[in-house]
Structure 1
């Protein structure tokens, strides 16, 4: 059986879950820029986000989203007046099931600033949820290894951190929005 990935230009939803299977967050409309078995690159701007408790908010700026089927992180490049900020979620690899792009959010985040300095966020939340939701030790080790891989990508300017990556995909997003 061949899995069909979302086609370029298709609008999809993104569903983020917690390890215990509960919904965490839903992004209502995201445009696929490139969908393959290994990765999906997508974009949104001023999309509605629904939190687990039902509250909603709207994103403030255009964002290019990078999801991988083998890496335990996803990367969001937010285009702001003073440069590109990246928000990186430590997460399960994505799954596409024709309803939405889905992943498990594991709390740890890395925020990268336009000058490529970064800070690791939510380590306390990760530890609390690791205990409460009983993350297996193998998942804990995979996530810690992927924090290091992500930091390596930042230093190497690899993937979405490459100098022209965000601009190139943002141009494609603007093409689909016409």
Structure 2
């Protein structure tokens, strides 16, 4: 299987259903890659929006990209806890250049106290009409949203206590050995 290697710096590209670039990250350091997922960390990374606006990430973020699920999870490590931003998206793929996925607008934000909020439902409905998302896609995304909510409520997968901290420690060890 074609996958990035531990320590590779990779691009991350997010697209919309119509094939247009949505957002790109200038680099992500690969911490783990296997047949099921790729895990990268972004630290002070430049992000370019489709409209050309550029900004820099503020805190370290562990990015969990499953290869077979219709979502990805960004674990933002802040002083007051880990915040999770979940994109309902196509399964991620690595094409030798970048980790790529299609962003389907619906998002889930999970707070350190495990409370959550579904975001961008109106944007999803607008793009669903405009870009003609098939009914089967809507069923998949709604099901994956429910699965993410359940995972967050029960603290499993990337929401498991210590997940982000473990991968941040792996990053710190990697950087220490690099010196």
1:97 alignment partner in structure 2: 95
1:37 shift after superposition:
1.8
- Alignment partner, residue 165 of structure 1: 163
The question of 1:18 aligning with 2:16 is answered yes
Corresponding residue number in structure 1 for 2:125: 127
List structure 1 runs of 4+ shifted beyond 4 angstroms: none
Distance across 2 between alignment mates of 1:62 and 1:133: 33
- Distance in 1, Cα, partners of 2:46 & 2:155: 30
User: Structure 2: how far apart are the matches of 1:110 and 1:177?
Assistant: 31
Residue 160 of structure 2 corresponds to residue 155 of structure 1: no
Query: Structure 1 residues 22-31 or 167-176, which shifts more?
Result: 167-176
**CA distance in 1 between partners of 2:92 and 2:105 (Å):** 15
Q: Deviations over 1:113-169 (max 9, x none)?
A: 000100000000000000000001100110000001101111121111101101000
Partner of 1:54: 52
Structure 2 distance, partners of 1:177, 1:125, is 39
What does 1:61-72 align with in structure 2 at a 5 Å threshold? 61-72=59-70
TM-score with structure 2 setting the length: 0.96
Instruction: Determine the C-alpha separation between the residues in 1 that align with 2:4 and 2:78.
Output: 27
Residue by residue over 1:46-68, the C-alpha shift from the partner in whole angstroms, topping out at 9 and shown as x without a partner, is 10000111110000000000011
Match of 2:32 in 1: 34
Distance in 2 (CA, whole Å) between partners of 1:91 and 1:100 is 16
The CA RMSD over aligned residues, in Å, is 0.8
CA deviations over 1:21-47 (Å, ceiling 9, x no partner): 000000001001001121001101110
How many residues of Structure 1 are paired with residues of Structure 2 in the alignment? 176
Distance 2:27 2:109 in 1: 23
SS of 1:149's equivalent in the other structure is helix
Partner residue in 2 for 1:177: 175
| Secondary structure of the structure 2 residue equivalent to 1:21 | coil
Gaps of 5+ in 1: none
